[in-house]
Amino acid sequence: MQKAAELVKCMNTDENQMLRAKQGGLVPTKIALAEQYKKEVPSMAGFTDAVANTRARTGKLGAKWPETAKVIYTGMQLVLTGQAAPADAMAKAGA
């Protein structure tokens, strides 16, 4: 368990957060690095700003997320395959 904690600590240093973000096209998970990252990688500014207000999609729905996801992707498929107009798709998908 101690080795796992050491790995997490190492991965979450400011230096490694910035390196992984730049190399992987990601946004640092440390909010304190946001301004520095936006200056160094301006093309990611919009994504970087969004991270401060994001939450896991299961954060509110919990166990209901799979059911909700099914409605969303079914509605999208109905629209993409021409089986429903966007305005009708979610109702037809079961929302």
Q: Provide the phi-psi class of 84: left if phi over 0, else alpha when psi is between -120 and 50, else beta.
A: beta
Task: Please check whether residue 53 is in contact with residue 64, taking contact to mean a CB–CB distance below 8 angstroms.
Answer: no
Mean pLDDT of 81-86: 92
Q: Are residues 47 and 64 in the same domain?
A: no
Count of domains for the chain: 2
Q: Are residues 8 and 30 in the same domain?
A: yes
pLDDT of residue 20: 95
Q: Beta-strand (E) ranges in the chain?
A: none
Which residues span the domain enclosing 69?
58-93
pLDDT of residue 87: 85
Q: Are residues 29 and 65 in the same domain?
A: no
What confidence tens digit (pLDDT) does each residue in 44-56 have? 999 999 888 887 7
pLDDT of residue 22: 96
Q: Which residue has the higher pLDDT, 95 or 20?
A: 20
What confidence tens digit (pLDDT) does each residue in 16-41 have? 999 999 999 999 989 999 999 999 99
